[in-house]
Amino acid sequence: MRPVVTEVRGDSRLPNAVDLVVIGGGIIGCSAAFWAAEQGLRVALVEKGRIAGEQSGRNWGWVRRMGRAAAEYPLGIESLKLWQGLNERTARDTGFRRGGIVYAARTDRERAWLAGVEAEAARFGLAVARMDKAALAATFPGARLSDTEGLMTADDGRAEPALAAPALAEGARDKGAVLLTGCAVRTLETEAGQVSAVVTERGVIRCRAVILAAGAWSRLFCGNLGIDLPQVRIRSSVLRTAPVKGGPELALGNGRFGIRPRLDGGYTVARRGRTPVQLTPDVLRQAPRFARGLLKNRREIALTLDGSLIEDLRTPRTWQGDAITPFEACRVLDPEPQGAILARALRDVAQAFPALDGVQVLERWGGIIDVTPDGVPVIDHAPGLPGLVIATGFSGHGFGLGPGAGQLAGELATGRTTLVDPAPFRLDRFGGGRTATARQGAIAQPPTP
């Protein structure tokens, strides 16, 4: 089931040539396109399905700095500053509000995790408040939380996934960008080893700079170009409730659930804790790189077998620019929500917040998260393919990073000074590179517009 997201109409005209093509209309691609259009560049944003159709329209809407890996903190801090100005810059409501976020814990393991989060936050000068049971009770009046400790960042916030990427996309169009929806990018063309065009299902757009912000599809796209990008897919589920009074005013995450107040007066609810990872041939191929992460998080991960195994076997890994690609075969990744997991989350939420007992559920949906071996994104020049920048692998927390990550990708693609040091996001931290069989310019016959 698709969550309701603000519809963005695509433009009908395919430009012949632009300065920058952005592949993917999620929060990263839309942020990059918006930033580049603001800089006065000629931009085309190309999306195979709908703007915010995948992760960026399906997430919890948390915009946080707290709880990030050290590698992400500077980008998280810059992104929050950017979120603050986005409503004005796009002349639209992204739903961003600095509402505060609380993490709470009740077991020794959760408390140890919280202590680590607190130490990391202190290292980056982030103001976090430690909460005891009384402080938790004062922050969530009427709640029956079994958690005994908490950490709060009063000025972390939230935004609405249904609004944010569409606002950025429309904002980019206001500044001259062309938005192509329902238009898959099949591959890239090169001249003398440098990117010279993107090949879309509607024709070729000439350009010397491309940002690949294709979320869960980036590994497949890169693989066809001979670039080894480690990335696996994880399924997750979310629900939203009808408006209800007396629930929490801050977003809260503990060992059992995550809950966020929505602009419409309802709540976005999901389960925190054990995450199912689908076993597929592609996951097995990548097992050595993911082994450490899987081992470290073994209590949070459940390996499962389902229909994605067959789907993976059927998916072609290489193709030419004149062929129908997997991107056209699946316009929008729309997995079934996991009913039992959501029921449990809602039960735990209702236990903690009596105001939500019996609340009406308006929507349930699934989402596919793209994860790298260390849970940190790749924002980097593609190895051996000048002109291509990869911005992907946000591992379940890229919505909050969106504005900064999009800008960083844009700065890399255009050779400008970057807002943060991009070194932690380099692809070569996983080894690999580009194979000799890279399919540059592997286009038998470019499709005609």
Ligand X SMILES: Cc1cc2nc3c(=O)[nH]c(=O)nc-3n(C[C@H](O)[C@H](O)[C@H](O)COP(=O)(O)OP(=O)(O)OC[C@H]3O[C@@H](n4cnc5c(N)ncnc54)[C@H](O)[C@@H]3O)c2cc1C
Binding site for ligand X (CB under 6 A): 23-29, 46-49, 53-56, 58-62, 184-185, 213-217, 221, 236, 238, 327, 367, 369, 392, 394, 396-400
- By beta-carbon proximity to ligand X, the closer residue of 394 and 430 is 394
Residue closer to ligand X (CB basis): 378 or 438: 378
Neighbours of 137 (CB within 10 A): 14
Q: Rounded distance, CA 20 to CA 182, Å?
A: 19
Q: Which is nearer to ligand X, 48 or 202 (CB)?
A: 48
* Min separation Cβ 134 and ligand X, Å: 28
- Min dist. Cβ of residue 230 to ligand X (A): 15
How many residues does this entry show for the chain?
A: 449
CA distance 15 to 408: 25
Nearest to 199 by CA among 297, 319, 112: 319
CB of 402 to ligand X, least distance (A): 7
Nearer to ligand X, 257 or 327 (CB): 327
Residue nearest to ligand X (CB): 26
Across 300-437, the runs of DSSP E, i.e. the strands, are 301-304, 361-371, 378-381, 388-392
Question: Cβ 172 to ligand X, closest distance in Å?
Answer: 14
Distance in Å, CB of 102 to ligand X, minimum? 14
Nearer to ligand X, 150 or 404 (CB): 404
Residue 105 CB neighbours (<10 A): 21
Output the DSSP codes for 373-423. Answer: TTS--EEEEPTT-TTEEEEE--TT-HHHHHHHHHHHHHHHHHTPPPSS--G
Q: How far is the CB of 180 from ligand X (least distance, A)?
A: 8
Minimum gap (Å) between residue 64 Cβ and ligand X? 7
Q: How far apart are CA 254 and CA 106, in angstroms?
A: 8
Q: For residues 130 and 150, what is the distance between their CA atoms, to the nearest angstrom?
A: 6
As measured in angstroms, the least distance from the Cβ of 305 to ligand X is 21
Q: Based on CB atoms, which residue is closest to ligand X, 21 or 438?
A: 21
Rounded distance between C-alpha atoms, residue 259 and residue 240, angstroms: 10
Distant-in-sequence, close-in-space partners of 293: CB < 8 Å, separation ≥ 6 = 373, 374, 375
Residue closer to ligand X by CB (options 101, 356) is 101
> Any idea what the Cα angle at residue 369 is, between residues 364 and 372, rounded to 5°?
165
Taking the CB of residue 19, how many other CB atoms lie within 10 A of it? 16
Residue pair 178/13 in contact by the 8 Å Cβ criterion: yes
Amino acid letter, residue 355: A
Q: Which is nearer to ligand X, 137 or 301 (CB)?
A: 301
Smallest distance from ligand X to CB 357, Å: 24
CB 121 within 8 A of CB 113: no
Q: What are phi and psi of 115, to 5 degrees?
A: -60, -40
Q: Which is nearer to ligand X, 135 or 362 (CB)?
A: 362
Residues pairing with 403 in the sheet: none
